[in-house]
Chains A and B, each alone.
Chain A
Amino acid sequence: MSVSTPVGSAVPEHEGAGGWRHRLAERGIDRQLWLLAPAVVFVVLLFLYPFFYGLQLSFQPNEGGPFSDYDRFFSDAYQRDTIGTTLKLSLPAALFNVLAAVPLAYRMRGRFRGKRLVTTVLVVPITLGTVLTAEGLLNYLGPAGWFNRILMDLHLVHEPVTLIHNYWGVFFSLVITGFPFAFLLILSYLSGIDPSLERAAATMGAGWWQRFRRITLPLLTPGLATTFCLTFVLAFSVFPSAILVGNPAGSTRVISIAAYQAAYEQYDYPYASAIAMVMGLVELAVIALVLLWRTTLFKGSTGGKG
């Protein structure tokens, strides 16, 4: 902002233009904004255009009025239930990821030897990708996998526990890929909280639980809400693992499978677009609820470097 401010003042003969520019610059509008242009073009071409194309496509069904595809989706229980199926997977998975990441990140917020190693180990699953994770799950949790063999050798179970090709397989896959993400985000939120706040609380007689409960947690909660939203969105659009380690015809027939089938098995693009729009609306609704709750929390500075 300040860079272009002298432009107005240095050219007194063009006072009108200079003053006008100066006023804009004071509102944060100046030539540097052109630097945003490539990003704007990128977003428009690769996100906004496909989105609006899909939106208008969803109102142009192959037969019937503009809303008939939406009508078709909601009147067909087999299709409609995918919303519930997906929510039943993604909400618990996102909640679990956030809740499990909090204590771990809290323990690891300080500096200690080997922190980088531990962080790397925790983050590796992100880089592996869903397919590799699914393959590992199939081998490990399968009927003849290590996990079941150990349980049987310990005589804890007599028959292999079914942990793949059902709800739990997808749930584990969502945790493995979503947890590192939640952990990293929460770790950065935690390091944004001034450590002297907890120390001050300690000098005032607060034990570790009180310090966490009364100081850190209230300051962290807005970050938890954001983290929840992001991990939820990731989990809600689950597709490969729902097919690979789930039961894509039954208990894990998530909404993205419904959209895929409409688009690439029935070649009904308008219907697929309508399903995608429904998917987006459900996500938006959940996020709106979470963010609405977030507005009731403290939003100010947490005093740290973040």
Chain B
Amino acid sequence: MRAQGFQTLELRGVGRRFGRHSALRGLNLSIQQGEFIALLGPSGCGKSTALNCLAGLVPLTWGSIWMDGERFDQVPCEKRGFGMVFQNYALFPHLTVRGNVAFGLRMRKLPKAEIRARTQEAIRTVRLLDQADKLPGQLSGGQQQRVAIARSIVLEPAVMLMDEPLSNLDAKLRLEMRTEIRQMHQALGLTTVYVTHDQEEALSLADRLVVLRDGLVQQIGTPEDLHHRPATWHVADFMGFRNLFRLKVDRRAEHGNTVTLRGNGLELDATAVGSLSAGDTVVVGIRPEDVVVEPPGNLSEPVGEPGSWARTGRAPTGTVLDARVQVVEFTGREFAVQVRIGDEVALHLRTPQRLVAGDPTRVQLPVHRMLAFPEEVESGSSPWVGAPTSHGRGTGSPKESEVGPGPGTGSGAGTGSGARPGSGEQPGSGARPGSEAVSQ
């Protein structure tokens, strides 16, 4: 019954309702042995619920969990053999570090000598030997965290579940522990499911990420997938697309995915993610790092003349706009700048140039970095990720069938620049094994 050395753990349409509120709906995910999966999303998105369902702490309302083809969701929590690290660590306050670590081994009624040896070894792994006889209340946050981890790894769990384990630590310790967790995952060959709301943490740790919002999967993919090819603007928002504007599609290029957008006194080109047609409202986004600032001294030439950009050796493949510098913050290596474009639209960018507040400047928004997403009619629905529609969400029209004309065509070879959306399969197309988020 206890899972040791499994191959795949599969969640099929897993959902959970609390009262009238659906905390999680239709989660399809297949986890391979040895993978590091991060469940990512804002608070209340259902990521902790998903973890608790996996741990067996919360029964499923819908769906099932399978381990190597055997139904697993009926197995009680204590028989699953999963380790779990809680957000508040949940260390037993009346037991010493040693007692906490040995607890699970005692429950298995192992011989005393083995318990002692394995406990000692686990405490050594997390470097707490000198604290082993203290009570949890006498330890610092980071040490408590390590006890919580030691307590789980000592049982050699089939799957390690972590619920925002670093959120109570300070920034420096968080970075250290992050590295330690990843190292431990690799060294012990663990399979880890990690819940976090910190996209940086998720990107740096995980082999694959599951982005959730309002209990629905937004996207499942590798960190690169999500970083370069967010499926919805919510994912983009989470992935550092700080500049997000609502604009209208003016026209579509005859071939390719380029669309021209209008609104707020702006006219700019962007790459369509999903099927867009003229008149649609879109949310268009770009990362501050991807905005290019005109080198100083070239401002005399009018917008539209490609001359100045040509001289710098960069191909002008984006919209060039006049801007006015508003706020300049020095961040160490570069400047974080807020400028105004169009009808007083704020645009955040990063540049090594020393800009001065109040000065005019000129920015270029590269087409392939400027992603235009369909604006959902109702929150929770998403154009590609065919989430289950048991609640009759919206029109249901922008579904997989319509992914075709967008970047989901899979014609990756023709898209050139590596960061072009859709140069790989989109989750909705169901082409990527193991990362499907298909409607049931």
Instruction: List chain A positions with a Cβ less than 8 A from chain B.
Output: 194, 196-197, 199-207, 210, 214-215, 218-219, 298, 300-303
Contact = CB atoms under 8 A, between A and B. Distances in A.
B137 A202 contact: no
B321 interface: no
A3 B82 CA distance: 50
A188 B77 CA distance: 26
24 contacts: A194-B90, A196-B90, A197-B90, A197-B92, A197-B93, A199-B77, A199-B86, A200-B84, A200-B90, A201-B92, A202-B77, A203-B77, A203-B80, A203-B82, A203-B84, A204-B104, A204-B107, A205-B78, A205-B107, A205-B155, A206-B103, A215-B92, A300-B137, A301-B93
B107 A210 contact: yes
A219 B94 contact: yes
Contacts, number: 75
Given A201-B92, A203-B78, A206-B107, 4 more contacts: A197-B92, A203-B57, A204-B103, A205-B81
A102 B83 CA distance: 30
B157 to A, nearest CB: 8
3 closest A-B pairs (Cβ-Cβ)?
A204-B104, A298-B94, A200-B90
Contacts of A202: 56-57, 76-78
Given A219-B94, A300-B93, A300-B137, A200 B86 contact: yes
B151 interface: yes
Contact of B103 (A196, A207, A214): A214
A14 to B, nearest CB: 41
A196 B77 CA distance: 13
Scoring A202, A206, A207, A300 by chain B CB atoms within 10 A of each residue's CB, the highest score goes to A202
Contacts of A215: 92
Contacts of B56: 202
B210 to A, nearest CB: 21
Contacts of A200: 84, 86, 90-92, 151
Q: Which of A194, A200, A219 counts the most chain B CB atoms within 10 A? A: A200
A301 B94 CA distance: 9
A203 B77 CA distance: 6
B391 interface: no
Contacts of B152: 203-204
B103 A303 contact: no
Interface string B45-80: 000000000011100000000000000000011111
A204 B77 CA distance: 9
B94 A205 contact: no
Interface residues of B, number: 29
> Which of B80, B94, B155 has the most C-beta atoms of chain A within 10 angstroms of its own C-beta?
B94
Interface in B319-351: none
Contacts of B78: 202-207
Nearest to B94: A298
Given A205-B81, A205-B108, A206-B107, A199 B90 contact: yes
Contacts of B76: 202
B82 to A, nearest CB: 6
Contacts of B84: 199-200, 203
Contacts of A201: 92, 103, 107
Contacts of A207: 78
A214, A218, A302: residue with the most chain B Cβ atoms closer than 10 Å: A214
Contacts of A303: 88, 90, 93
B23 to A, nearest CB: 15
A196 B104 contact: no
A218 B94 contact: yes
A201 B77 CA distance: 10
A126 B84 CA distance: 43
Contacts of A300: 93-94, 135, 137
A131 B152 CA distance: 56
A104 to B, nearest CB: 23
Contacts of A302: 93
B137 A301 contact: yes
B93 to A, nearest CB: 5
Interface string B243-271: 00000000000000000000000000000
A216 to B, nearest CB: 10
Contacts of A197: 90, 92-93
B24 to A, nearest CB: 18
Contacts of B92: 197, 200-201, 215
Give the residue among B55, B82, B91, B103 with the most A Cβ atoms within 10 A: B103
A32 B110 CA distance: 58
Contacts of A206: 78, 103-104, 107
Query: Residue among A201, A204, A214, A215 with the most chain B CB within 10 A?
Result: A204
A203 B83 contact: yes
Nearest to B55: A203
Nearest to B138: A300
Contacts of A204: 78, 83, 103-104, 107, 151-152, 155
Contacts of B80: 203
Contact of A219 (B55, B90, B93): B93
Contacts of A210: 107
Nearest to B86: A196
Contacts of A205: 78-79, 81, 104, 107-108, 155
